[in-house]
Amino acid sequence: MQIYKVGGAVRDRLLGKPVTDIDWVVVGATTEEMLAKGFRPVGADFPVFLHPKSGEEYALARTERKSGRGYGGFTFHASPEVTLEEDLIRRDLTINAMAEDDEQNLTDPYHGQRDLEDRVLRHVSPAFAEDPLRVLRVARFAARYAELGFKVAPETLELMRQLSESGELEALTAERSWKEISRALMEEQPQVFIQVLRDCGALKVLMPEVDALFGVPQPEAHHPEIDSGIHTLSVLEQSALHKQPLTVRWACLLHDLGKGLTPEEEWPRHIAHEHKGLKLIKAVNERFKAPKDCQELALLVGQYHTHGHRALELKASTLLELLQSFDVYRRPQRFEEFIVACEMDARGRKGLEQRSYPQADYLRGAADVARGVAVQPLLEKGFKGPELGEALKRERLKALKAYKESASS
């Protein structure tokens, strides 16, 4: 049997990037031989094994054919006769379809190295279409390697467009899609992921609520970029530039969905878009079964981002309601994430990327003030149950009034 390193490990070594996990392909072997060498099978009918010591994945060279819709609809053919070239041709991109032996001799039948040099993301063969998840994968690689100048090849974008129109994307499970989306959002240029999905028509299928933002104008005074979709991409870009966590990036992507619902005659104003957008945010959250913390923050940022921007003008009572809605007493981190999401929203505007955002520290200060109200003296006065809650609220309101006055003096 011959063993080769394949996929991302070869690609990233040639790009001079750190290699995190290594995939191997085994040519000329049978399942029985692998088991006899101590490899552990990953699944019952999948020709992939884990190395007994390193735990790395070793897959028997295989060809695959699609036999139905969705990911389950595959038949594999793994046998000692399947060649390395046959295994590589069923892979997604030429830059992912190179193999290397233990002396770093490259097998590159589909010119992945040339495409690496030319900075092109190109599909290997029509077999690309056998896994619709690859539409998301290509967009994710485009986001990851944008800083190196990589672009999707026109013929690959065309194939992605056909796949998007074919209805195949609907067959993807929430789990597989979310895995790609969440990884893509954590790349250095997540806005490129969304842009590429939009360019091939996949955004309209996966997140029509985000797609609908493009072409919708906003008032130029606050939004020199005008277009709501462009604004969303910029907010996402800011969140990555500021190294924000996934929760914040997800919230940035979804914060303005309500703007896509505004009747044209009301443009460029978007009255109550914060509230109107909530049902759309909920739908997107649920479609991809986003983790609970991502879901929650997206809804809260959607509902309250304008409050964030107006923080300095809010009445003390409104400020208190905001803090209560976030449960800042028990969930300080979530409020901090809200604050930075608002800041990204304020900076994701053409020419305003460097603006200061005094609202952030003002809100942090307000949360500290509200948290600083001690319960003990109220307990000593004999308050309990709902009355204690009311008394705490009154004290917090008093403290916030004083905070507001001192901030404006």
Residues near ligand CTP (CB under 6 A): 7-8, 23, 91-92, 96-97, 131, 133-134, 137
| CA pair distance 292, 297, nearest whole angstrom | 9
Q: Which is nearer to ligand CTP, 137 or 273 (CB)?
A: 137
> How do 40-43 and 46-50 pair as beta strands?
antiparallel
| CA pair distance 48, 57, nearest whole angstrom | 7
Shortest reach from residue 147's CB to ligand CTP, in Å:
15
Shortest reach from residue 83's CB to ligand CTP, in Å:
16
In degrees and rounded to multiples of 5, residue 193 shows phi and psi of: -55, -50
Q: Tokens representing 179?
A: 């895995």
Q: Which is nearer to ligand CTP, 69 or 394 (CB)?
A: 69
| CA pair distance 312, 400, nearest whole angstrom | 12
| CA pair distance 315, 312, nearest whole angstrom | 9
| Coil vs helix vs strand at 104 | coil
- Give the contacts of 220 (CB within 8 A, at least 6 positions apart): 226, 268
Shortest reach from residue 97's CB to ligand CTP, in Å:
6
| CA pair distance 404, 362, nearest whole angstrom | 9
| CA pair distance 6, 385, nearest whole angstrom | 64
Q: Which is nearer to ligand CTP, 96 or 228 (CB)?
A: 96
Bond from prior residue into 126 cis (ω within 30 degrees of 0): no
Shortest reach from residue 137's CB to ligand CTP, in Å:
6
Shortest reach from residue 100's CB to ligand CTP, in Å:
12
Q: Which is nearer to ligand CTP, 194 or 235 (CB)?
A: 194
Nearest in space to 280 (alpha carbons), one of 307, 262, 306: 262
Q: Is-contact 251 308, C-beta < 8 A? A: no
Q: Is-contact 105 146, C-beta < 8 A? A: no
Shortest reach from residue 96's CB to ligand CTP, in Å:
3
- Give the contacts of 151 (CB within 8 A, at least 6 positions apart): 119, 120, 121, 142
Shortest reach from residue 90's CB to ligand CTP, in Å:
7
Q: Which is nearer to ligand CTP, 74 or 267 (CB)?
A: 74
Shortest reach from residue 295's CB to ligand CTP, in Å:
25
Q: Which is nearer to ligand CTP, 187 or 225 (CB)?
A: 187
Q: Which is nearer to ligand CTP, 20 or 408 (CB)?
A: 20
Shortest reach from residue 196's CB to ligand CTP, in Å:
15
Q: What's the angle, vertex CA 270, arms to CA 267 and CA 273, rounded to 5?
A: 145
Nearest in space to 285 (alpha carbons), one of 308, 253, 326: 253
Q: Which is nearer to ligand CTP, 14 or 261 (CB)?
A: 14
Q: Which is nearer to ligand CTP, 121 or 378 (CB)?
A: 121
Shortest-Cβ-distance residue relative to ligand CTP: 8
